[in-house]
Amino acid sequence: MTMQNTARVSAEPAGPAREQAFQHALDVLVERRDEFAEQGYVPRDFIDLLKKAGIYRASTPERFGGEPMPPAEFLRLIERISEVDPATGWVASFGSALTYFAALPEETQAEIYADGPDICFAGGLFPMHEPEVVEGGYRCTGVWQFASGCAGADILGVGLAGGEETNGRPITALVDPSQAEIRVNWDVSGMKATGSNQVVLDDVFIPASRTFIRGSEPRIDEPFTRYPALAYAAQVLAVTGLGAARAALDYCTEVASARTSITGGSKRSARPSYQDGLARGEARLRSARSFFYETTDQVWQKALADEPIDDDLRALLRLATTHVAHECRSVVLDAFDLAGTGAIYRTHPLQRYLQDGLVPAQHAMLNSATYEAVGAILLGMKPSVPSFP
């Protein structure tokens, strides 16, 4: 798959026009989500609808025409998209990824945003390859995995191994999609539509000015760039689980509870076990969601006030994020159990939320190791997870 750039699409004006654009995107998604899953990616024409809804200027600095959203506001939009289709929510979540670009030289940022602030970025950051260092930058050859959303990207990123000059932290290098080949290898059962295929470069020169150390200090000082970038990268993925869990419980409440058993038994909703399971699912989901957004708002207020965000608070943000991913996975599984035998069919509505809702907790930034790392920080110890929190 060879990627080509197209004319830049801009967001509708803030207010009713943008809200209508967002609702239109949701309506189209209801009609096309099966198509996206079948083809294995979210296409550029739908990315353009998300751009019109403001998703892809949500982390562009104001200095360059962006309209940065408070993290909780953006996360709630991704949650709503994910209630329709979690995989498309995952792709839309990379509207947050431009926060990384704040670490680029200001001249490079100005160049990237010269045609407008609505930029779709996709990165295949692992494995980190050793580049050839040449005058003015790097020459890069290699294959990188998991480039979610690459089918609609304006800019691609690849991961390079850092050295002493980066304190071992990885480098992200930016390339134009026309410089790369997208090798289709995304054959999965969950998050099919993310199109997280391979990025292939063959002796591509990348100027040093188009690279940055991931997680390094931003060159632009705005409230959004003060918010912890690595934690936010985990949050925008975890929130897709919230959408999946919400949709799964809503199905159990609104649809499945009205049906009688195929064996001729009573409605499931009349069974104490069904009532108990539904109530416990609501409690787990709402509790995890509250912790997630409460901590997000707490950290955001620090960023707004330009106050230090210490490691303990950053760790709690990572904890709330991992916790919501794992709790949502459990809620989706409980909803699947409540729905009964019919839910095993591939065409059953819960299959979308089951298959996609299990994925966030599998991600490297959200797996169980996070709990151990947070515990170490809260105890005043060094975590075993690199670059944490």
pLDDT along the chain (389 residues), means of 10: 63 98 98 98 98 98 97 98 98 96 97 97 94 95 98 97 82 97 97 98 98 90 95 97 98 78 71 94 98 98 98 98 98 95 94 98 96 97 90
pLDDT at 210: 98
Q: Both tokens of residue 236?
A: 């925008």
- The reply to whether 383 falls in a domain is no
Structural domains of the chain, count: 3
Do 107 and 129 lie in one domain? The reply is no
CATH number at residue 333: 1.20.140.10
Please tell me the predicted confidence (pLDDT) of residue 3: 45
Domain boundary among 181, 213, 245: 213
**pLDDT at residue 227, rounded to an integer:** 97
75 & 202 share domain: no
Q: How confident is the model at residue 11, as a pLDDT?
A: 98
CATH number, domain containing residue 177: 2.40.110.10
Domain that holds residue 65: 16-112
| Cα–Cα distance measured from residue 360 to residue 238, given in angstroms and rounded to the nearest whole number | 6
Residue at token pair 């998300």: 50
Residue reference for tokens 């709790």:
327
Residue 178 confidence (pLDDT): 97
Same domain, 63 and 141: no
CB of 218 within 8 A of CB of 103? yes
Q: For residues 191 and 240, state if they share a domain.
A: no
Based on the fold, state whether residues 150 and 250 are members of the same structural domain: no
Last residue of a domain, one of 213, 246, 263: 213
Asked if residue 222 belongs to a domain, the reply is: no
Spatial separation of the C-alpha atoms in residues 186 and 386, rounded to whole Å = 27
Same domain, residue pair 251 and 344: yes
Q: Of 14, 7, 1, whose CA–CA distance to 45 is shortest? A: 7
Examine the fold and report which residue of 82, 112, 142 is the final residue of a domain before the chain moves on.
112
Residues 133, 69 within the same domain: no
Same domain for 133 and 159?
Answer: yes
β-strand pairing of 171-175 with 211-213: antiparallel
Same domain? For 247 and 290 the reply is: yes
The H or E element containing residue 185 is none
State the Cα–Cα distance between residues 177 and 26, nearest whole angstrom: 27
CATH code of the domain in which 61 resides: 1.10.540.10
- Do residue 238 and residue 367 come from a single domain? yes
Angle of helix 349-357 versus helix 229-254 axis, rounded to 10: 150
Q: Are residues 85 and 143 in the same domain?
A: no
